[in-house]
Amino acid sequence: MNNTVDNLVQSAWTVLTVIVNSVMAKENSFWVLYGQHDKPTFLDDASNGAQRLQRDAALEYVKQWRVCLDIGSNIGQWTRPLSRKFESVVCFEPNPNFRECFKKNINENNVLLWPVGLSDKEHKAKQGFNSTVLQNEEGEIDCRTLDSFGLTNVDFVKIDVDGFEIPLLNGAKETLIKNNPVINIEMKKDKRSNIAQLCEHILKDLGYKFHKRTKSDEVWLKS
């Protein structure tokens, strides 16, 4: 009798383990376009522990869960978990090759993707095949201001734009003033100290205060 019970328990545990592993694999599975790839490539496990740490640290400060902005959404690795927290997630990704991966990765119906870069004015820019860096030169990438979208009920903004922070923030002032969202911004001070200082100046002028740094990300919010 005991052997039968033990076998049943072991079988149930095995089934549960398979289900959990399957769910986790799906959660961490992404189409990616990293530096070494020349086309979208599917990975069973494309998880990034550091990104989760940064995201969780920032979300601790969120009080309402209405609209989230994922600026520099790339292939959607932040978008997927954010879509399960917020009523809606508005994404901005200028690189068409990353957007190809994004559309394969994200099928949640509360996510909207805008195929533009965010800047301080409407203009064209350049971006490499699988580069996250937006170049302020004449090219094929459409740019416009965040303020031009007239977004409301914004409670959280994630910013990861690799050097384009200043024009982005200058074109987002009305949105930030109107909504007072928690901001999580990637800021690699060791590599771009001048940009970091200018970002701090803009955010402080808008009434924001620095609250926490996790890895290369900073959380700013109004007191």
Domain that holds residue 106: 48-222
**DSSP 8-class letter at 154:** E
Does one domain contain both 88 and 29? Answer: no
Q: Note whether 95 and 146 are same-domain residues.
A: yes
The DSSP string of 21-72 is HHHHHHHH-EEE--TT-SS-EEES----HHHHHHHHHHHTT----SEEEEET
Give the pLDDT confidence of 119-173 residue by residue, as tens digits. 999 999 988 877 788 877 788 999 999 999 999 999 999 999 999 999 999 999 9
Q: Note whether 170 and 62 are same-domain residues.
A: yes
Q: Are residues 31 and 122 in the same domain?
A: no
User: Strand 88-92 to strand 123-127: parallel, antiparallel, or no bridges (unpaired)?
Assistant: unpaired
Are both 57 and 162 inside the same structural domain? yes
pLDDT in tens, 40-64: 999 998 865 558 999 999 999 999 9
> Total structural domains in the chain?
2
193-223 residue pLDDT tens: 789 999 999 999 999 999 999 999 999 999 7
Q: Are residues 103 and 201 in the same domain?
A: yes
Q: CATH number of the domain at 112, please.
A: 3.40.50.150
The reply to whether 139 and 67 lie within a common domain is yes
Between 27 and 202, name the one with better pLDDT.
202
